[in-house]
Amino acid sequence: VSSEDTHLFYHLITKWVLEQKKNYINVNFYISFRLKNIIYQNFMNLYIKEVGEKVLYSFIKESKSNSVKNLKDLMSLREN
């Protein structure tokens, strides 16, 4: 995903790579950005690792939650 029409960023690019493996899915998240405001840019440079980790962990948590829901739906279909 990229953002080119914004007043906040010169550029914002996020890339998700999902690779299906034998017993798991490998997830990589990449982000590239340049903010127009130098103060915000310097702040984000300090915290980008933590922000990226929170985004990735939130994705994993939501994925696990949805997997359980899908499994429960599948099991209820089998019972009927």
Q: Enumerate the domain spans of the chain.
A: 2-79
- pLDDT at residue 4 in the model: 67
Instruction: Please report the pLDDT score of residue 20 as a whole number.
Output: 86
pLDDT digits (tens, 9 = 90+) for 47-64: 988 988 898 888 888 887
- pLDDT given for residue 21 in this prediction: 86
Backbone CA torsion sign across 78, 18, 58, 36:
negative
pLDDT at 72: 64
Q: Which residues of the chain have pLDDT under 70?
A: 1-5, 68-80
**pLDDT recorded at residue 60:** 83
* Predicted pLDDT at 6: 76
Say how far apart CA 31 and CA 19 lie, in whole Å: 18
Contact partners, residue 19, CB within 8 Å, separation at least 6: 25, 26, 27, 28
